[in-house]
Chain A
């Protein structure tokens, strides 16, 4: 088991013919992901290194059995591509594109919910289930197969922590980058639910950052509904209020959303929070050893 993507995943990439889309789409295929199609309007009938390209996602679903869509198109077309994927009937949409207007995201968020589609992202590195499938831009070489589920707002920070876990001999059931935008398709809670239900996952590492209250809400959810050990890391203790730190959602407004508030909320519910990525990886290793003992 693993979550969101696995050996059953049949991937269609919107924007496969673009430079980045080709690079990452084929990288995902090289990893072992079943890449069944690409979609670029007007380029139907072409192929990218043997992968058939269609004009619409519907064709990719009908003719190639695609069940998961990865969105790699420019921001101004991305919300429409997510819409199209939902209408075409895929189960899962993973949106890598950065810079999608937030009101567009608000609209497609509700559309995905109503249609029972799992939406991950946007502005995220995607999902990796080591040994099974990789959808997105996560460099798989820093992760091993194992039983720690990772959910993170940040890409590079996840690679840092994953690599430290690997050096400590630990691996992952899945790694999910949920993205750092103000509205994302899947929040910490959505992913925590999936890990709680996933048999392969024995513990969970959650990587948050300043902005919003997703970490605080996750803390409440963990206390009520997660039986597996959770270790967390929060970035942005030194971030000044009112300044956006790279991710569109990483901005502290008013009194909430600070790293300190998030850390306190998590610790109040018994979640251990690492001071650095290194310490977080160590805490995860300890939690795994305790669980095994």
Chain B
């Protein structure tokens, strides 16, 4: 789960990472009120889960109340690369002497956390890696020791951070490591990490990814995630506890198991079709889960045909068949429905489907045959 900038900054503040004084607002009036509280100049920042906000006009400095109002009006509701702005973050403007960069990420190949510091902040860190790889200091944190002050100081010194602020940067890195450890973050990035004109270190932006698997022990973070699902189908699937990803095509897909489901998308695309979604019905699905899944898939108005690709291991094909029949009568599905059932109890499942006599249902024996058929019918 990716946090918005303000959510990340609130998390940073909780662990003592210095951030500018700021407030969250969702209406123009609120934004103006908090701007008055913070004082001027302040910065009005669009809160969307995508980069390039500044270039899109989503970050503006306000020097008085009239400007705070004008900027808030312009930014709220603005579309930034497909994301509508519903939230604003108003914060004190900072006087910037230097822009650096710091991050801690989970390196899944090395199975260790990786700390990165560079004095060249404010730009894309990948660009730094390309243009000036020596300026990028990357070091793995040994899982047993964790991040020590000595290690942090060395990082700051080797990255060429000015002497008078290396201690501040080192201490901040320790606090970032604490955020990672205590909040189950798999990525924390500060870009830019600024040195103010009065020589203080401040996190001017924040990027944070929280491990979804850890949300059971972070109820306050789990609540934030509910807001992020904007797509109606994705929100609906979340409510029903299904793993659904919208893909924008017209062929609704249901598979069991993440791998088989991804593979189904691929063979449909190879057959010339455009998948509408990824939906993993999961292992051991019962009939009700299939009804729920079909409800989600068919609520997408773009969907013109459906493909069920099931290889039953733990999942029993007769349960899937029951679900299909139940859903057809409950939701009234009339669009073509191509079904491929194989594996555990597939014969029973296929017999149930044949007996139900659904006119829009087409059975196929193989995964490839089913993909070709649904593309024809869509």
Tell me the smallest distance from the CB of B255 to a CB of chain A, in Å: 8
Question: Contacts of B366 on A, CB cut-off 8 Å?
Answer: 278
Interchain CA distance A63-B257 in the complex, whole Å: 38
Query: Which residue from B108, B243, B255, B270 sits with its C-beta under 8 Å from A183?
Result: B108
Question: Quick check: A157 and B270 within 8 Å, CB to CB?
Answer: no
Known: A159-B313, A182-B186. A278 touches B368 (CB 8 A): yes
Q: Which of B21-29, B192-200, B211-219, B298-306 contacts A (4 or more CB under 8 A)?
A: B211-219
B213→A100 contact, CB < 8 A: yes
Contact B257 A155 (CB under 8 A): yes
Is the beta-carbon distance between A157 and B111 smaller than 8 angstroms?
no
Any A CB within 8 A of the CB of B262: yes
By the criterion CB–CB under 8 Å, are A214 and B109 in contact? yes
Per the bound structure, the CA–CA distance linking A156 and B180 in Å amounts to 33
Docked complex Cα distance between A239 and B84 (Å): 23
A134 to B191, CA, bound (A): 49
CB distance from A292 to the nearest CB of B (A): 26
Q: Contacts A137-B283, A238-B269, A248-B213; is A160 near B106 (CB within 8 Å)?
A: no
The docked-state distance in angstroms from the alpha carbon of A11 to that of B144 is 30
| Interface of chain B residues 254 through 293 with chain A (CB within 8 A) | 255-263, 265-270, 275, 278, 280, 283
Contacts of A182 in B (CB 8 A): 106, 108, 186
Distance between A13 CB and nearest chain B CB, rounded to angstroms? 16
Once A101-B214, A110-B144 are accepted as A-B contacts, the answer to whether A244 and B270 lie under 8 Å apart by CB is no
Please name all residues of chain A whose beta carbon is closer than 8 Å to the beta carbon of B268 when the two chains form the complex: 238
Contact B311 A246 (CB under 8 A): no
Evaluate whether A101 and B211 lie within 8 angstroms (CB atoms) in the complex, with A155-B283, A276-B267, A278-B367 already known.
yes
> Across the interface, do B258 and A180 meet the contact criterion of CB distance under 8 Å?
yes
Complex Cα distance A103/B179, Å?
12
B143 engages A277 (CB within 8 Å): no
B259–A238 touching, CB < 8 Å: no
The answer on a CB contact under 8 Å between A110 and B143 is yes
Instruction: Check A142 for interface membership: any CB of B closer than 8 A.
Output: yes
The digit string for A231-269, where 1 denotes a CB below 8 A from any CB of B, is 001011111100111111110001000010000000000
Interface presence of B91 (CB below 8 A): no
Interface residues of B in 298-328 (CB under 8 A from A): 311, 313-314
Chain A minimum-CB-distance residue to B180 = A103
Please determine whether B343 and A163 come into contact, CB atoms closer than 8 angstroms. yes
Q: B313 contacts A102, CB within 8 Å?
A: no
The smallest C-beta distance from A192 to any residue of chain B, in angstroms, reads: 16
Q: Nearest A residue to B264 by beta-carbon distance?
A: A235
Bound-complex Cα distance A125 to B256 (A)? 13
Interface residues on B, range: 35 or more
* Interface presence of B184 (CB below 8 A): yes
A275, CB-defined interface residue at 8 Å:
yes
Quick check: A138 and B313 within 8 Å, CB to CB? yes
Q: Which residues of A contact B368 (CB under 8 A)?
A: 276, 278
**When the two chains form their complex, are residues B342 and A157 in contact, meaning their CB atoms are under 8 A apart?**
no
**Does B126 have its Cβ within 8 Å of any Cβ on chain A?**
yes
Is A75 positioned at the interface, with any CB of B under 8 Å from its CB? Answer: yes
- Chain B residues with CB under 8 A of A157: 257, 259-260, 263
- For window 211-250 of B, CB contacts with A under 8 Å fall at 211-214, 216-217, 243, 245, 247
**Do A106 and B112 have beta carbons less than 8 Å apart?**
yes
Q: Is A139 an interface residue (CB 8 A)?
A: yes
Chain B residues contacting A233 (CB-CB under 8 Å) are: 263
Cβ of A52 within 8 Å of any chain B Cβ, yes or no, is: no
Taking a contact as CB atoms under 8 Å apart, the answer to whether A235 and B262 are in contact is yes
Task: Give the docked Cα–Cα distance between A212 and B214 (Å).
Answer: 20
Complex alpha-carbon distance, A236 and B261, angstroms: 9
Smallest Cβ-Cβ distance to B342: which chain A residue? A163
Report if A180-B266 is in contact (Cβ < 8 Å); known contacts: A101-B184, A102-B211, A137-B313. Answer: no
Please indicate the chain B residues that have their CB under 8 angstroms from the CB of A210 in the complex.
Answer: 262
Closest A-chain residue to B183, C-beta based? A103
- Is B344 on the interface with A (CB-CB < 8 A)? yes
State A277–B257 Cα separation when bound (angstroms).
Answer: 14
With A103-B181, A254-B126 given, is the CB distance from A156 to B186 under 8 Å? no
Bound-state CA distance A129–B212 (Å) is 33
A154 interfacial contact with B, CB 8 Å: yes
* Assembly CA distance A237 to B275 (angstroms): 12
* B105 nearest CB neighbor, chain A only: A253
Q: Is A217 an interface residue (CB 8 A)?
A: yes
Q: Which residue of B lies closest to A259 (CB)?
A: B266
The complex places the Cα of A152 from the Cα of B260 at a distance, in Å, of 12
Residues of A within 8 A of B126 (CB): 254
- Report how far A152 CA is from B313 CA in the complex, Å: 15
Most buried by B among A103, A141, A245, A249: A103
Taking beta carbons and an 8 Å cutoff, which residues of A are in contact with B?
75-76, 99-103, 106-107, 109-110, 125, 137-139, 141-142, 152-160, 163, 180, 182-183, 207, 209-210, 212-214, 217, 233, 235-240, 243-250, 254, 259, 275-278
A–B complex contacts, Cβ < 8 Å, 18 sampled = A101-B184, A102-B186, A137-B283, A142-B343, A155-B313, A156-B283, A156-B311, A159-B311, A233-B263, A235-B259, A236-B262, A238-B275, A243-B245, A246-B261, A247-B258, A248-B213, A250-B258, A276-B270
Residue ranges of B at the interface with A (Cβ–Cβ < 8 Å):
106, 108-109, 111-113, 126, 143-144, 180-181, 184, 186, 211-214, 216-217, 243, 245, 247, 255-263, 265-270, 275, 278, 280, 283, 311, 313-314, 342-344, 366-368
